[in-house]
Chains A and B, each alone.
Chain A
Amino acid sequence: MKILIRDGHVVDPSQGIDGIEDVVIEDGKIHEVQKRKNEGSKGEKGRRGGNSELGYRIIDASGMFVFPGLIDMHVHLREPGFEYKETIETGTLAAIKGGITSVCCMPNTNPVNDNSSISEFIIKKAVEEGSCSVYPIGAITKGQRGEELAEFAMMSEAGCVAFSDDGRPVMDSLMMRRALEYSKVLKALIISHCEDLSLSAGGVMNEGLRSFTLGLKGVPVQAEQIMVARDIALAELTGGRLHIAHISTADSVALLSAAKKRGLAEITAETCPHYFTITEEAVEGYNTNAKVNPPLRTLKDIDAIKEGLRDGTIDVIATDHAPHHSDEKLGEFNLAPSGISGLETSLCLCMKLVAEGVLSLKELIEKMAVNPARITGINKGTLKVGSEADLVIVDPRKEYRVDSTEFLSKGKNTPFDGWVLKGRPLVTIVKGRIYTWD
């Protein structure tokens, strides 16, 4: 099938495009991106949609943005083992509704993705039932127990794009050193969930006056800061490729910034929309949908994270999409699991950064597509001729109200329910296949 996307404002930092262009897709690949050919008024009919006589499915994108399909390098798809929270089928549907056409899924499934059989299962399942591209992330250690290295090379061969013990950080510094050292053979990426478990010690929200007044156990910002500092030191020692997951504090941004200034260019980092959008105040009323790990912090941290995004200290925006069953989130705050279902609100929350002038559109797409592709080595995040036709068409103006009951994800756990946002995807195209959202 041939597709012609007309008159959209195309933003593709991978080839320096930021303007009105037509995009032509043929056989699931990008065929052409170019300025509108002058065909007089002949195109008018086509602009209304439907098929033109040329055999193209024409999509009128005037007034809309056209971005390369977004890449979310931090997602929990929950399959195998926690299908009641999410499946590969529902998680990837949620992704494409959010304009995300590639996801990297974390290994904390049951069984843990710590061997190539599980990796192969996930990839096969994604091909059969998934709506977008799925790239598994393997575990750093067997069973994520932090004791023995998992089989990086075999998992890598099976298709894993990175390794992480996300959710159960590698507390043993020697084990982390070995992981960063051994991974160099494969030039593999190690993604670190930075949390000193002995310091966070079962805390459920940011530590401070608010955790005291709510009677909840706090997690100090130092629980993250200490491990960010440790992992930067170990990356420096080993020369391994380190990516810091879900940065939530001003101190972490400062540590990263200093490391990058010292020339540690291999270190990269991500944050998530909730860490630059809402504070610990969202926990008031014991709102378990605002319980997330690391916890929501303060305005000072939000400001530092925005600055880190602006000045390039933070390379990537990922969702840490962590769907949970509503029955689990209905439990009392101390017992409810941590996590936010983020795939379907991510782009809209990120578009606020553009509206606020924190990021340009180009910078936003770098952080949501170009950089994740580069860091994980995925050949995506671009509209270059010949690449797979993954893209998203976004209406920058129309407002909509977030309604978690309409989520395609099984996880309805969002602190953004009822928020009025802009920048919702209208059309997502995955490998040439068109999905239209109302």
Chain B
Amino acid sequence: MINAGDGTNEHPTQALLDLFTIREKKGNIGGLDVAIVGDILHSRVAKSNIYALKKLGANVRVIGPPTLVPAYIGELGVEIFTDMKKGLKDVDIVMMLRIQIERQGKGFFPTSEEYFRNWGLTSERLSKAKKDAVVMHPGPMNRGVEISSDVADGRRSVILEQVTNGLAVRMAVLYLLAGVRT
């Protein structure tokens, strides 16, 4: 059985394609500083990436409002930030998450506008990260909610490459698990 993303639990093929993309861009994963930003609590993408990144030796930090980043997540060995500028400082990878209204229910933050003001990824905030930092997002994006269009379409965005790699990585998963012998 291949898990193609189950509810708010896990999304392992997304983590595989994200790791593939990171390795393509950075050569290796161990020792990198990775910030995952947004709704960690309800995100299957965040969880699978945290497991995979930790396993391969990356330093993971999570950033978001306390309502979406409960303190017990720290027990997974990740650092928790509520402030974007502090959280993004000197990271190699900025991994954005979609704000998922349908999974969240109401009341985790007041409005999309206020969310963007505090946790939206803008060029100014991105400037705190390393100069060669790349921006990722599992898509689909809410432009103007968690990410500004100039960053989403900017030169540091690898979001479309994630989509391309996703196809290849998932083909590989199916190929290997279909029992093909080499």
Decide if A and B are genuine partners: yes
A: residues with CB less than 8 A from B are 208-209, 212-216
* A215 pairs with B75, CB closer than 8 A: no
* A215 pairs with B72, CB closer than 8 A: no
Cβ < 8 Å to A, chain B residues 64-117: 70, 72-73, 75-76
**Shortest distance in angstroms between A217's beta carbon and chain B's nearest beta carbon?**
8
Taking A215-B44, A215-B47 as contacts, is the C-beta distance between A209 and B10 under 8 angstroms? no
* B75 pairs with A209, CB closer than 8 A: yes
**Shortest distance in angstroms between B74's beta carbon and chain A's nearest beta carbon?**
9
CA distance A213 to B48 in the complex (A): 10
Which of B6, B44, B47, B72 lies at the interface centre, i.e. has the most chain A CB atoms within 10 A of its CB? B72
**Shortest distance in angstroms between A210's beta carbon and chain B's nearest beta carbon?**
9
Cβ < 8 Å to A, chain B residues 1-34: 6-10
Closest 4 CB pairs of A and B: A215-B9, A215-B8, A209-B72, A209-B75
CA distance A201 to B75 in the complex (A): 24
Let me know if B41 is at the binding interface, CB within 8 A.
yes
Nearest residue (CB) in B for A286 is B9
**Shortest distance in angstroms between B173's beta carbon and chain A's nearest beta carbon?**
21
* A215 pairs with B70, CB closer than 8 A: no
CB neighbours of A212 from chain B (8 A) = 41, 47, 70, 72-73
**Shortest distance in angstroms between A283's beta carbon and chain B's nearest beta carbon?**
13
CA distance A302 to B41 in the complex (A): 27
Nearest residue (CB) in A for B74 is A209
CB neighbours of A213 from chain B (8 A) = 47, 76
CB neighbours of A215 from chain B (8 A) = 6-10, 44, 47
List 18 contacting pairs A-B, 8 Å CB cutoff, sorted by A.
A208-B72, A209-B72, A209-B73, A209-B75, A209-B76, A212-B41, A212-B47, A212-B70, A212-B72, A212-B73, A213-B47, A213-B76, A215-B7, A215-B8, A215-B10, A215-B44, A215-B47, A216-B8
CA distance A213 to B41 in the complex (A): 9
**Shortest distance in angstroms between B168's beta carbon and chain A's nearest beta carbon?**
27
* B72 pairs with A214, CB closer than 8 A: no
CB neighbours of B44 from chain A (8 A) = 215
**Shortest distance in angstroms between A205's beta carbon and chain B's nearest beta carbon?**
13
Total chain B interface residues with beta-carbon distance under 8 A? 13
CB neighbours of B10 from chain A (8 A) = 215
CA distance A216 to B10 in the complex (A): 11
CB neighbours of A209 from chain B (8 A) = 72-73, 75-76
**Shortest distance in angstroms between A284's beta carbon and chain B's nearest beta carbon?**
12
CB neighbours of A214 from chain B (8 A) = 9
CB neighbours of B41 from chain A (8 A) = 212
**Shortest distance in angstroms between B94's beta carbon and chain A's nearest beta carbon?**
22
CA distance A208 to B70 in the complex (A): 9
**Shortest distance in angstroms between B67's beta carbon and chain A's nearest beta carbon?**
13
CA distance A104 to B47 in the complex (A): 45
Nearest residue (CB) in B for A217 is B8
**Shortest distance in angstroms between B73's beta carbon and chain A's nearest beta carbon?**
6
CB neighbours of B75 from chain A (8 A) = 209
CA distance A209 to B47 in the complex (A): 11
CA distance A216 to B7 in the complex (A): 9
CA distance A208 to B76 in the complex (A): 11
CA distance A124 to B75 in the complex (A): 55
CA distance A209 to B41 in the complex (A): 10
Cβ < 8 Å to A, chain B residues 137-155: none
**Shortest distance in angstroms between A30's beta carbon and chain B's nearest beta carbon?**
54
**Shortest distance in angstroms between A80's beta carbon and chain B's nearest beta carbon?**
35
Nearest residue (CB) in B for A208 is B72
**Shortest distance in angstroms between B49's beta carbon and chain A's nearest beta carbon?**
13
CA distance A216 to B6 in the complex (A): 11
**Shortest distance in angstroms between A293's beta carbon and chain B's nearest beta carbon?**
19
CB neighbours of A216 from chain B (8 A) = 8
- What is the 8 Å Cβ interface bit string for chain B, positions 42-64, against chain A (1 contact, 0 not)? 00100100000000000000000
CA distance A271 to B70 in the complex (A): 29
Which of A209, A212, A213, A214 lies at the interface centre, i.e. has the most chain B CB atoms within 10 A of its CB? A212
CA distance A212 to B62 in the complex (A): 14
CA distance A214 to B73 in the complex (A): 12
CB neighbours of B73 from chain A (8 A) = 209, 212
CA distance A19 to B77 in the complex (A): 56
* Supplied contacts A212-B41, A213-B47, A215-B6, 10 more A-B pairs, CB within 8 Å: A209-B73, A209-B75, A209-B76, A212-B47, A212-B70, A212-B72, A212-B73, A215-B7, A215-B9, A215-B10
CA distance A208 to B71 in the complex (A): 9
Nearest residue (CB) in A for B72 is A209
Nearest residue (CB) in B for A211 is B72
Nearest residue (CB) in A for B75 is A209
**Shortest distance in angstroms between B14's beta carbon and chain A's nearest beta carbon?**
14
CB neighbours of B9 from chain A (8 A) = 214-215
CA distance A213 to B44 in the complex (A): 9
CB neighbours of B8 from chain A (8 A) = 215-216
CA distance A209 to B75 in the complex (A): 7
CA distance A230 to B75 in the complex (A): 32
CB neighbours of B47 from chain A (8 A) = 212-213, 215
